Each structure stands twice: as C-alpha cells, then as structure tokens.
Chains A and B, each alone.
Chain A
Amino acid sequence: MSAHETSAHEISAHEAALAAPIAGAAPPAPEAPRPGLARFLGSDLWASFRRSKLAMGALAVTLLLFGLAFAAPWIAPQNPYDPAQLELINSNLPPLWAADGQAPFLLGTDDQGRDVLSAVLYGLRLSLIIGLLGVAVSGSLGIALGLVAGYFGGIADALVMRIADVQLTFPAILIALVVDGVAKAAFGGALDTNATILLIVVSIGLSFWVQYARTVRSSVMVERGKDYVQAARLIGLSAPVIMVRHVLPNVTGPVFVIATINLALAIITEATLSFLGTGLPETMPSLGTLIRTGNRFLFSGEWWIVAFPGLALAGLVLAINLLGDWLRDALNPKLQ
C-alpha cells in the first residue's frame, strides 16, 4: 500500500461513511406510505432536531435572515440602488441610539447618505440569491458528473476524477477569481450588473462541484452493484433513467448536507470576491461590497458602516454552518 492509496482510501472511506446511512436506508420502504409531514415528524431527524437547542437556534436565525432578505423591498426604509433617494446631507450618520443618530436611519448612514439598514437588507438578499444560485449550479454540475463517473466508470470516471484532483490543488476562491478574471478579459469589462451576478454564480458553480461529484460517485459505485439496480437494468431501463430514478434518491442525504455547508461557502465566496473588488459594484452592493466600502471608514470612526454588514454576514454564515454541522451529525449514525 502506498501513501497515495492510503490517503485516497481515507477520503473515499469518509465519503462512503457520509453516504452510507442514507444508502443503507435507501431501498424504497415496503411499508404503507405515510403523508410527508407525518413521516418527517416521526423520523429520527426530527427527534434529533428537537434535542439540539443549537440546531433550533441556528434554524431560527437562518429563517429570520432569509425572511428579512426576501422581504427587503417591502420592509427596507429606502431603496439603496436608487441614487435619487440618497441625500448627501444625511451622510455618515451614526446609529439611532448614538448621540447624533437621526430617524429614520436605525443603523446610521454611509458616506453617500445611504441608509445602512436598507443596504444590509438588500445586500443580504443579493448575497443569498447568489449563494443559492451558486449552490444550484455547483450541485447540478457535481451530481451530474458524479453520476456519470460512478455509473460508467472507465475513461469517464478517470477524466472527471483527474480534473477534480487538479482542481483540488487550488482553493475555491482562487478558481472563482480566475474564472472571474478570464471572463472579464473575454468580455472586455463591459458587463452590466445582471451579467456580473451571472458570472459570479458561474464562478462559484465551477469552484464547488468537486465535493458533490466525489460523494455521488462513491455512493453510485456502491449502489451500482446492488440487486435492485441490476434488476432495473434487466427489465430494460436505460442508464439515465436508472441513475436519476433509482440511484440518485440514495444520495440525497449526503448531497443535502454538502449543499447546506456549501451555501455558507458560496455566500463567503461571493462576499470575498466583492470584498476583493472583483464582485458586485458599489452601485449594487452585496454584503461583501458593503464591507469593502465600510472598511475605508474604520479608522475615521464610522464603525457602523462596516460593522452591520459584517454582523449580518457573520450571523448568516454561522447559522447555516451550525445547521449543516448538525445535519451531518444527525444523518451519520456512526457519530451517535
């Protein structure tokens, strides 16, 4: 046995462990189907959730921030994207509770006179949308490649996994930066905001597919040899049908865990890109852009311009991560 085989084995064993509980519980239960909600409420997952105060708190914070983000256009006092609403006379106001605070600027204003609360709400919304889209892209890409690699094996498998190996050489943020930079070069910097958002989503998608692909691949390789897949093949179902209808349901658990944790990573990646100045512009700020701008005022004492976007980002990411952590432990009977 070589060191390489050892490490590769460890990784795949880990992934198999991640996949195992779901895979084990996978073949369609013969018992009478119960309504979805009742089944969920009777499940171990729900019981484990009720036991974990941390998971409940994390879910509450996540839901709250999701709600605030999607309600932003209706609850924000101001539309921060509309320059007409900004008054320079209101610039650099501290939060309401400070001595110089002014209504209606609950969390103060920035140097443009932009309401920080509104900017944070809209920024949260943008960060979440990009994060969710990024997860959708990386998830679909990774699952598709993982299914193909695991089911067909051979050259397809070798190709996908070698690309994954090479990509793992680099941290995701570097990939995202490169994709971003190359695309900008290709389109000559003449991108509007929607195209920028799309570009960031694609960068994130291309940065995070590897983990899905590896997990799906290892569970598919386990499932492939099982009787029910053989049976499906015997009755003449085509490979795509077998994969999507029979093999894919077995990996939903681990994929869901990865997706949860990846949502946090995708949000961080977007924020980092924006912070580094290659993400969203200041005219349409995400949380990362807000932190980038606010960072300039750290030394002049206007701490609120950076603090509140920072808090929102930290809270969101921490809550999602806690949820992901709990989910991973709850779905992995080995840890209980």
Chain B
Amino acid sequence: MLAFLLRRAVQSVLVLAVVGLIAFSMFRFAGDPVNQIVGPDTPVSERAEIRRSLGLDDPTLVQFGRYAGNVLRGNFGISYQFRQPVAALLAERMPATLELALCATVFALTVGILMGVYCALRRDTALAKLFQAVSLIGVSLPTFLIGILLIFLFSVTLGWLPSYGRGDTVRLGWWSTGFLTLSGLKALILPSVTLGLFQMTLIMRLVRAEMLEVLRTDYIRFARARGLTTHAVHFGHALKNTLVPVITIAGLQLGSVIAFSIITETVFQWPGMGLLFVQAVQNVDIPIMAAYLLLVAAIFVTINLAVDLLYSVVDPRLRLATGRAA
C-alpha cells in the first residue's frame, strides 16, 4: 500500500514538473517579457539592465530552476494587467471558485447517483426514459448555453434567482464565504447547477450502466436466492458494488470541475479564478495563465491521489493486493 502510494506520488510530482515546464515555456513563447514591463521608448541600455536584473541572460535551465523555486515558495510573479502579485490575486478569488465547485460537485453526485440508480432499477418506466433523454441533452449542450437558458428562465422570466455575482459574502479570515447569507446561497444555485449539470449527466449514465451490469452478476442472483429483501439486494449489494468503479471515474471528472468553472464563471460573472483566467487570456497576462495552469494541475493531482486512497479503502480486494505488494 505504502509503496503504491509512493509510486503514485512520484508520478504526480512528474506530472506537476511537466506542467511547470509548460508554464515556464509559456513565458518564452510569449515574446520578450521586457516589452511587457517597459514602454516602447525605453533605451536599449535600460532594457539590458532590466533583462539582467530579471535573470533573462542566464541559461534556460537556471531560469527554469529559479521559476520552479519561486513557484514552490508561492511566488507566481506579478500580473501584467493588475500589477499585483499573482498569488494574492488567486488567493482572493479562490474561495469563490472552490465554493462553487463544491456545490456543483455535491449537486452532480447526489442527483447523478439518484437518477442513475432509478434508471437502472426502473429502466422501463417513463421517468427513466425522460432522465435518459435529459442526460443526452445535458451531455450535448455547451455549458454556457445551459447557463444562459437558466438565467433566461429563473432570472429574466421568473425573477427568482440572481443572474450574476456571489451575492453578499462574509469574511472568515482570508476566506470569503457565500454560505452564510441568504443572497449568497441564492446566488450559488444557478451557477452550481450549470457547472454540475455535465458531470451529473455523466455520473448518472455511468451509475446506470454500471448498476445494470452489477445486477446481472452471480452474486446478485445468489443474494436473491438467499431470500434477501429487494432493498438489501439493491442497496446493500448492487449499489455498493456499483459505486466502486464510479468513485474513480467520478473523482477524476470532479477534478475537472474546477477547470470547467471558467465557462460558468464567465456566464454568471462569478468573481472566481476562472473569470480571472479568462480575463488573463483576453489580455495576454501570462503570469496569471501560468499560475492558473499549475494550480489546476496541482488540484487535479491531489484529487487523483485522494481517489486512489478512497478506492483502496472501499474495495477490500485492492486493499489486500496492494498490501501484499508493499
């Protein structure tokens, strides 16, 4: 088990190193950074001075090493647009994105699993077929279109929910939360549904397919033959076995929720990291783009490791097998 986790950790570090390399090379692709700092009429000597002070004359490897060191210390450079440290900008906007992603995840998991289980157990009912049709639309339609549709329905037409922003937030230390005010909670609903819808349909289809598969297995037949109640067969045995593979794929999917929030945040003008990133792309703000990329990779890698851990907790076969390998 330990050896396995170590191996995964090493792989994760490698992924992060590659992403770091990409992030670093973005600065090089993006032309001479000196131009970003000085005006067009700055004399050549001054440019050379800045160049030296930024260490741009050093070998590439040295520069990468310095960049990596800075990143590890939480120094992502200065935003070209805002003239502020990128780390501070991201930290300020992180709570908004994380709260949105959390709500979207909870929504996607609960509704997705419930609908998937229903579709598997009552596969021929009209409601199950409706769920299937809705899931196809959910997978097909672009996120921003769904967001616009929801805004049109619930904000413009019905006037029930706000169409942009976080509502009122409460500061808890450096964290600003929308969970503690009514307007904050209301503001979370539409963006969370928009962001979670795609994952929800995915999870629903996955749960349905997986559970239908499990219901055909011998141990489910045997559980029935043992005279267990339908409830015990469906939820004690079938659902639990269904969720084992679902955990992995759902976990990996949920890692991308944070990155997907770029679109949702733009639609709802949600003041999170995704909106910051889109503005950075529009304004060619490389430090923010690079930092965001690294952050998403780090979150994804962390979730991956967590999923691996969870997986071995849930599945006894794996627990033993990896235990032996260790």
Binding site for B on A (CB under 8 A): 1-4, 6-7, 10, 162, 165-166, 169-171, 173-174, 177-178, 180-182, 184-186, 188-189, 264, 268, 271-272, 275-278, 291, 295, 298-299, 303, 306, 310, 313-314, 317-318, 321-322, 325
Contacts and interface: CB of A to CB of B under 8 A. Distances in A.
Given A182-B26, A185-B286, A3 B318 contact: yes
B312 A3 contact: yes
B2 to A, nearest CB: 12
Contacts of B318: 1-3, 6
Interface stretch (B65-73, B176-184, B273-281): B273-281
Given A181-B289, A322-B136, A174 B262 contact: yes
Interface in B279-312: 280-282, 284, 286, 289, 293, 296-297, 300-301, 308, 311-312
Contacts of B18: 162, 166
B18 to A, nearest CB: 5
Given A3-B312, A10-B245, A173-B262, A271 B282 contact: no
Contacts of A169: 15, 19, 255, 296-297, 300-301
Interface of B: 4, 7-8, 11, 15, 18-19, 26, 29-31, 136-137, 139-145, 148-149, 151-152, 156, 163, 245, 248, 255-256, 259-260, 262-263, 266-267, 277-278, 280-282, 284, 286, 289, 293, 296-297, 300-301, 308, 311-312, 318, 321-322, 325
B205 to A, nearest CB: 11
A178 B293 contact: yes
A298 B152 contact: yes
Contacts of B262: 173-174, 177, 276
A2 B325 contact: yes
B284 A181 contact: yes
Given A177-B281, A185-B29, A185-B31, A3 B148 contact: no
A64 B215 CA distance: 41
Contacts of B151: 298
A274 to B, nearest CB: 10
Contacts of A185: 26, 29-31, 284, 286
B308 A174 contact: no
A300 B108 CA distance: 32
B284 A272 contact: no
Nearest to B308: A3
A182 to B, nearest CB: 5
7 contacts: A181-B280, A182-B289, A189-B284, A278-B282, A299-B163, A318-B140, A321-B140
Contacts of A4: 4, 7-8, 11, 308
A264 B140 contact: yes
A190 B46 CA distance: 27
A8 to B, nearest CB: 11
A181 B156 CA distance: 33
A272 B144 contact: yes
A65 B322 CA distance: 53
A169 B23 CA distance: 14
Q: Chain B interface mostly helix, strand, loop or mixed? A: helix
Contact of A298 (B156, B260, B284, B322): B156
B19 A166 contact: yes
B322 A182 contact: no
B263 A299 contact: no
A291 B139 contact: no
Nearest to A310: B145
A299 B141 contact: no
Contacts of A186: 29-31
Given A166-B15, A169-B19, A321-B139, A299 B156 contact: yes
Contact of A276 (B140, B248, B266, B301): B266
Nearest to A269: B142
Given A3-B318, A166-B18, A182-B29, 6 more contacts: A4-B8, A169-B301, A178-B289, A186-B30, A298-B156, A317-B142
A185 B27 CA distance: 9
Among B266, B282, B289, residue most surrounded by chain A Cβ atoms (within 10 Å): B282
A7 B263 CA distance: 29
Nearest first, the 5 closest Cβ-Cβ pairs linking A and B are A185-B30, A181-B281, A321-B140, A185-B284, A268-B142
Contacts of B19: 166, 169
B15 A313 contact: no
Given A321-B139, A325-B136, A188 B260 contact: no
B278 A278 contact: yes
A312 to B, nearest CB: 11
Among B19, B156, B281, residue most surrounded by chain A Cβ atoms (within 10 Å): B281
B296 A170 contact: yes
B142 A174 contact: no
Contacts of A317: 140-142
Contact of B137 (A275, A313, A318): A318
Contacts of B152: 298, 303
Contacts of A166: 15, 18-19
Contact of B4 (A3, A268, A299, A322): A3
Contacts of A291: 144-145, 148
A310 B141 CA distance: 10
A173 B281 CA distance: 12
B155 to A, nearest CB: 8
A317 B248 CA distance: 28
Given A177-B262, A185-B30, A278-B278, A298 B148 contact: yes
